Amino acid sequence: MKFLFPQSTSHHTHVSVSKATSTLTRTNPTSPRATTSPAATQHTQKPRIPTSNFTLNNIELHAKPPSNSPKNTIQNQQQRSEHKLKSRTFTLKKISALNVLALHPAHPETNNLTLNNPTIKPHIRQNMPNPLETEIAGLQLRNPTILAAGILGLTTTTLQEAINHGAGAVVTKSISQKPRTGYNNPTIAQIDNYSLLNAMGLPNPGANYFAQEIRELKKQHLHAPVIASVIGFTPHEYTQTAQILAKAGADAIELNISCPHVKKTGSEIGQNPNLVSKVVKQVKNTIKKPVIVKLTPNVTDIVEIAKAAVQAGADAVTAINTLRAMTIDTETHKPILANKIGGLSGQAIKPIAIRCVYEIHEAVNVPIIGCGGITTHQDAVEFMLAGATAIQIGTAIATQGLNIFKTINKGINTYLHKKNLGSVKQIIGLSHHN
């Protein structure tokens, strides 16, 4: 791979990256012999050049001086007779766990050789570390953004579209053992530009039917985990539904014990530590896939519920689901939603979600998926600073479309670069260290 950068002299310098030796090689193309001599290639692991330092963007690359050992005498004589080096090899140095190719101080824009740089050849890009990569309960995510449950998660096509637009993982709509029709309209009310109130009633085709959608999606080999959201009215229903979807190919199960607008399930289970423990234990004893528990904020102490879930075997938790809320039409004097009460989502609940993630991070030792009001990469970073390993995006898709995944990932990558950090993992829970 070669990059051409202007120098202070009248000619140019080529910089090449060797995959085999992980080194940078700079050669002068105007020289009659721009290749390294056979003798020099025998010692590529110990390059021998005059001592010099290059400080680029606060990164020093030190060139090693020539060795005077007897076995290098022939090469030293050859270099002196030629009066100048025809090839210089600089070992690529890892700085703060971040692989940076610092090449030209006068053109800093050329130094951003990240995974997103189209000039990097595919085989080189594959061997570079992905700063956005993260892990949740053994699931490898190419980036920390996840499609939240209930948003476009009912068909193979919509789930595939979310992945194609950059989602690191997807969560399906909440699926029950038997089909549900949900509530009558109106089921959604827009509160402001960034917040929604909904009471859908958990409509879904049932576990056996939806298992076919998961099988079809897994055939696409999209390299993103598929997490099945499960709802039930008893521990037995949670267990049976989770078993069906896990067998169909779901990479993990997210237990919805937090829906605020359906009676005898959701938050009515998630508000009781004993019921939470019972549901999690039965599911964990039935399936081998990771189990994630989605927590409700409609409790006195969310940490108590998180602890109960983790002690029962939960591999991770998602915080938070929607807040129980209502809106009334001032003209008709009636609640707007047919169910009257719904769940509030979007930017209005973000400060509450941040607080929940922060408190849970201090109390349990499992990955946390942050959810609630994420619309920008700054929101995503804030959740991770509070302790989230990954984040879910839902309501913002309604206003910004599926491109929000790429937008947020690009913003997080830029943030890491500005902070001179090599991995998104380095900011998880960072606010607790201050």
Of 175, 202, 246, 259, the catalytic one is 259
Give the Cα separation of 394 and 198 in Å (integer). 12
User: Any idea which residue has 């004097």 for tokens?
Assistant: 333
**What's the pLDDT at 75?**
53
CATH class of 134-433: alpha beta
Q: Where in the chain is the domain with CATH 3.20.20.70?
A: 134-433
Between CA 413 and CA 419, with CA 417 as vertex, the angle to 5 degrees is: 115
- 45 contact partners, CB below 8 Å, separation of at least 6: 21
Residue with tokens 């994420």, as numbered in its chain: 374
Give the per-residue pLDDT at 127: 58
Q: What is the pLDDT along the chain (434 residues), one digit of tens a residue?
A: 433 334 433 343 333 333 333 333 334 444 444 444 444 444 444 444 333 333 333 333 333 444 454 445 555 555 554 444 443 333 333 333 333 333 333 334 334 444 444 444 444 445 568 999 999 999 999 999 999 998 899 999 999 999 999 999 999 999 999 999 999 999 999 999 999 999 999 999 999 999 999 999 999 988 899 999 999 999 999 999 999 999 999 999 999 999 988 888 888 899 999 999 999 999 999 999 999 999 999 999 999 999 999 999 999 999 999 999 999 999 999 999 999 999 999 999 999 999 999 999 999 999 999 999 999 999 999 999 999 999 999 999 998 999 999 999 999 999 999 999 999 999 999 999 86
Q: H helices within 83-136, ranges in order?
A: 122-127
Alpha-carbon distance of 434 to 427, in angstroms, equals 12
Q: What's the pLDDT at 19?
A: 38
Residue 263, pLDDT score: 86
pLDDT at 76: 52
Is residue 259 part of the annotated active site? The answer reads yes
Question: What is the structure's pLDDT at 123?
Answer: 42
Alpha carbon dihedral 358, 235, 253, 161, in 10-degree steps, equals: -100
